Structure 1
């Protein structure tokens, strides 16, 4: 009988990724955004290679041990460089050396074009690298009506700032603020008072830790059910589909009441069914007026107090 040899085991999926990450430029030459992209790449590999399978990979191919060790060293180097770059920006914000207008120019100037093969932009990478906030974050104590935290896209934050032009006499509420990307970015980009409201304790604790790094005097995070928060001092409200159903209905009614008393802007992004319909109800009742839909932001409703329009 002809002899048979064992079928060679295929190359593990992580090898190509690790080699690509390790071939990147010298981390000392990279900015925050590029460092964040690398950081997320290393994190993905390290978090998705099971220790038991790694042992099998190294047993079958001993040369992979050196590659894995090199990847661990590379990940540490990127993390340290990311920390240093972020600390530098944080220090400038704490001391006032980086004024709100200049901070906004810095991240907006990077652009909002999505990178090939990545659902991210240069502006998002820079902000998320600074804040160390992944775009999608799950929480352990999300209520039944709450969403998985999805950090707002930089282009949407820029659009909000352009529409509302917030100043020192404004109070902005980020309802369902998650880990705080929107709230921190807007507080650092303007002189307005910014209040993030979040029910999930894990999220709000993360947002507060992040906010403390920048010592922004105009930023506050409130751990509460949004239905229990007094919103009457707000001039602008941002909602990135944070909840649905009865909670969304209750919040729309609350904002309708505020709109009858003062001039406000509501920037609500999300589906019309079981969310947007409640804001449209406030339009039909005369509390809010709806601005025309914009092609680039078709999922966004910009609403203003009808009595002050």
Structure 2
């Protein structure tokens, strides 16, 4: 869909003096500009449900839709729209008020959950049940699920973040889907004696969700400073004592205390090769589980190399998670 604010331009040519009056073009009014693209969206958002009746996930969906309009309407072109169609000024003001009320309601709903986490009223098992029971069915016309909307609304984390410069062999930050996080928890069944590493954790959706959903120690490792700062702020907001974020090149981190490792295609090439080799070495010494999601070429192939060398063994592929490799220590399987 075209996102940029569009304008219609009318071109007027001059009639050559050599033409006789009978050939002169008749005077016509300029072609009216098309109705701005944002008008229909604003009207739809104004007609949406009362924010007081919406839960955290529904508020996040509404917040993202409002943000899309605000971020893609160019101020200079908005002035032109209002000058040509004065009635749009009232519509825009009403829309801005609506967006503000959505933001306030989202903040309040998120703070309520955060308070429950800080006080311990929302224990890990209850927190996990709360987001999992919302379901993983993708909404029509949206690449999201009710569980994802709830978690991302709580964390105020967008699905894709492109503002941070990527290091060599690094990927664009993409927040893990809720169904994948649930699958990881089901496969690993982490407890208080486990240490989980989220390698290339980005803004921390996976790490924070897992730390709030179980008693294991969770450590997110991320090279991008902006991501780490954002993740740490969220971790402090929820007062999760079993959560830590490490700002470092993953190759420089001691991973030897880990029992489970999560990777959502965070890097490729030499970095992926080095990490797979490190995890292979750990697997020879102790029982670990590696949950690696991503393409086989130049990513998965490095983990499969550790399988061929006898360090890891690969669990059977599952239809719902065809891009996921679940690997375990071969010596302990």
Selected match of 1:83 from 107, 111, 134: 107
Provide the residue aligned with 1:153 in structure 2. Answer: 177
Selected match of 1:23 from 39, 43, 47: 47
Moved more, 55-64 or 193-202: 55-64
Provide the residue aligned with 1:271 in structure 2. Answer: 295
- How far the C-alpha of 1:139 sits from its partner, in A, is 3.4
- How far the C-alpha of 1:144 sits from its partner, in A, is 1.9
Provide the residue aligned with 2:90 in structure 1. Answer: 66
Question: Residues of 2 paired with 1:154 and 1:192: CA distance?
Answer: 18
Provide the residue aligned with 2:251 in structure 1. Answer: 227
Selected match of 1:192 from 216, 226, 232: 216
Question: Residues of 1 paired with 2:265 and 2:163: CA distance?
Answer: 16
The 8 Å contact of residues 183 and 194 in structure 1, kept in 2 or not, is answered as yes
- Secondary structure of the 1:296 match is coil
- 1:89-129 alpha-carbon deviations (Å, 9 max, x no partner): 00000000001000000000000000000000000000000
Selected match of 2:261 from 237, 244, 248: 237
- How far the C-alpha of 1:59 sits from its partner, in A, is 1.0
- Secondary structure of the 1:289 match is strand
Provide the residue aligned with 2:193 in structure 1. Answer: 169
The 8 Å contact of residues 183 and 196 in structure 1, kept in 2 or not, is answered as yes
The higher radius of gyration belongs to 2
Provide the residue aligned with 2:276 in structure 1. Answer: 252
Question: Residues of 1 paired with 2:102 and 2:200: CA distance?
Answer: 31
Whether 1:99 and 2:119 are equivalent positions in the alignment is: no
The 8 Å contact of residues 59 and 105 in structure 2, kept in 1 or not, is answered as yes
The 8 Å contact of residues 32 and 129 in structure 1, kept in 2 or not, is answered as yes
TM-score for the superposition, normalised by structure 2: 0.92
**Structure 1: tracts of 5 or more residues without a match:** none
Moved more, 282-291 or 14-23: 14-23
Question: Residues of 2 paired with 1:16 and 1:302: CA distance?
Answer: 46
The 8 Å contact of residues 283 and 289 in structure 1, kept in 2 or not, is answered as yes
**Structure 1 ranges of 4+ moved more than 6 A:** none
The 8 Å contact of residues 139 and 148 in structure 1, kept in 2 or not, is answered as no
Question: Residues of 1 paired with 2:84 and 2:153: CA distance?
Answer: 37
**Structure 2: tracts of 5 or more residues without a match:** 1-24
Whether 1:43 and 2:67 are equivalent positions in the alignment is: yes
Moved more, 5-14 or 174-183: 5-14
TM-score for the superposition, normalised by structure 1: 0.99
Whether 1:209 and 2:233 are equivalent positions in the alignment is: yes
- 1:164-215 alpha-carbon deviations (Å, 9 max, x no partner): 0000000000000000000000000000000000000010000001111100
Whether 1:6 and 2:6 are equivalent positions in the alignment is: no
The 8 Å contact of residues 292 and 325 in structure 2, kept in 1 or not, is answered as yes
Aligned-CA RMSD value: 0.7
